[in-house]
Amino acid sequence: MSQKVLVINGPNLNLLGKREPDVYGAESLASIEDKCQKRASVLDLEIEFRQSNTEGEMVDWIQQAEDNFDILIINAGAYTHTSVALLDAIKGTTTPVIEVHLSNIHQREEFRHHSFISKAAKGMICGFGGFGYEMALDAASNILKNG
């Protein structure tokens, strides 16, 4: 039976491909999801992609993940740098979390260098564009198999 992965995408990621392509690339979120569905199939994982511009909705999804998913991949967008609520939600679950960012947040504006999510995540992948999500799936598979 496949293990289940929830992929949560935060604010403005619905604009991928249109918003600042020099920073975030020209690839749409739908294209990234399609590639991830293919990679997940190879890894015998089931994935569900979600996107919200609303912090509270993301908190709800994180809280619900424990009963419905084996692992969580999150690109919290700008909430990465501001949301104690997301951090607290992640700390309130035993579901392993992998943090993903399209750009290398450490090469950007100073305020983007800090991640609240990292305090509770198993690890972070950043700077590889949409391919970072596929890397996160490989990491998720490894975590689920080896702990």
**Tokens in use for 61?**
């999804």
Q: What is the mean pLDDT of residues 50-68?
A: 97
Q: How confident is the model at residue 107 (pLDDT cuts 50, 70, 90)?
A: confident
| pLDDT recorded at residue 105 | 83
| pLDDT recorded at residue 26 | 76
Q: Which of 101, 106, 113, 133 is catalytic?
A: 101
Question: How do the domains of the chain map onto residue ranges?
Answer: 3-146
Q: How confident is the model at residue 16 (pLDDT cuts 50, 70, 90)?
A: confident
Task: State the pTM of this model.
Answer: 0.93
Q: What is the mean pLDDT of residues 2-25?
A: 87
Q: Which CATH architecture has domain 3-146?
A: 3-Layer(aba) Sandwich (3.40)
Q: How confident is the model at residue 1 (pLDDT cuts 50, 70, 90)?
A: low
Q: How confident is the model at residue 40 (pLDDT cuts 50, 70, 90)?
A: very high
Residue 55 pLDDT exceeds 80: yes
Q: What is the mean pLDDT of residues 53-62?
A: 98
Output the DSSP codes for the chain: --EEEEEEE-TTGGGTTTS-HHHH-S--HHHHHHHHHHHHHHTTEEEEEEE-S-HHHHHHHHHHHHHH-SEEEEE-GGGGGT-HHHHHHHHT--S-EEEEESS-GGGS-GGGG--SGGGT-SEEEESSTTHHHHHHHHHHHHHHHH-
Reply yes or no on whether 24 is catalytic.
yes
Q: How confident is the model at residue 114 (pLDDT cuts 50, 70, 90)?
A: confident
